[in-house]
C-alpha cells in the first residue's frame, strides 16, 4: 500500500525540536522561526547530545553570526510565501530591513556571498515550490494560486514557473495526474 502525505516543514521542525529538548530535560522557549531560548545553562555534554539528536533530522544549530542572519532571511521569506497574511504592505526589501534591523544592501550582500544566489531568486524558488504544492493539492485554480502568491497575473506565475521547473503549471498538473493514475493502478 502506498500512502501520500503532505507536511508543513516549520511545524515538523518545531515538533522535532520540542521532542528532542524535552527528551533531554532542557527548559526552553520557542521564539521566532529558527530560534529557541534555552532557560538554564546546559552542560557541554547535554549540548553535544542535543546537536547529535537534531542532526538525525537534518537540523543544525547555527553558531556563525552570518549563517544565523542567512537563516533568519530564509525564515522570513518562507514565512511570507507560506502565510499570505504575513505578506508585507511595503516592499520585501523594506520588510526584511525592518524585521532584521540591517540595511538591505548588507542583507543582500551577505545572502548572495554565502548562498551564491540572490534574495530575489530565493523568493522566486520558494514561491514556485509553494505553487507546486498548491497545484498538487488541487484545491485552488491557477488564478487563485497566483493571487495567493501575490503575482500580478497567471501569465507571470506561469512564466516564472516554466523558467524554474521547465514546465508550465498546466503541464506540471498533467504529469502529477498521470503519476496518480499510475500509482492507483498498481
Write out pLDDT tens, residues 39-80. 778 888 888 888 888 888 888 887 788 888 998 899 889 888
- The more confidently predicted of residues 95 and 10 is 95
Sorted by where each begins, the domain ranges of the chain are: 9-61, 64-116, 122-186
Eight-state DSSP code of residue 101: T
Tell me how far apart the alpha carbons of residues 5 and 79 are, in angstroms, rounded to a whole number: 21
Threshold 0.75, pTM exceeds: no
Query: What's the gap between Cα 29 and its chain centre?
Result: 21
pLDDT at 145 over 70: yes
Domain 122-186 grouped into CATH 1.20.120.1200:
no
In a 3-state reduction of DSSP, which class is residue 29? strand
Amino acid at each position: 500500500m502506498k500512502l501520500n502525505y503532505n507536511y508543513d516543514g516549520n511545524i515538523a521542525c518545531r515538533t522535532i525540536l520540542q521532542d528532542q529538548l524535552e527528551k533531554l530535560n532542557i527548559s526552553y522557549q520557542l521564539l521566532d522561526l529558527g530560534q529557541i531560548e534555552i532557560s538554564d545553562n546546559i552542560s557541554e555534554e547535554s549540548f553535544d547530545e542535543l546537536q547529535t539528536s537534531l542532526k538525525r533530522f537534518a537540523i543544525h544549530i547555527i553558531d556563525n553570526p552570518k549563517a544565523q542572519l542567512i537563516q533568519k532571511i530564509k525564515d522570513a521569506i518562507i514565512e511570507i510565501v507560506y502565510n499570505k497574511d504575513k505578506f508585507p504592505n511595503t516592499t520585501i526589501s523594506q520588510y526584511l530591513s525592518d524585521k532584521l534591523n540591517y540595511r538591505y544592501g548588507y542583507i543582500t550582500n551577505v545572502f548572495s556571498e554565502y548562498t551564491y544566489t540572490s534574495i530575489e531568486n530565493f523568493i522566486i524558488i520558494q514561491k514556485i515550490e509553494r505553487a507546486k504544492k498548491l497545484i498538487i493539492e488541487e484545491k485552488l485554480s491557477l488564478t487563485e494560486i497566483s493571487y495567493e502568491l501575490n503575482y500580478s497575473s497567471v501569465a507571470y506565475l506561469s512564466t516564472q514557473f516554466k523558467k524554474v521547473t521547465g514546465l508550465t503549471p498546466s503541464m506540471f498538473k498533467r504529469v502529477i495526474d498521470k503519476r496518480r493514475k499510475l500509482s492507483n493502478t498498481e
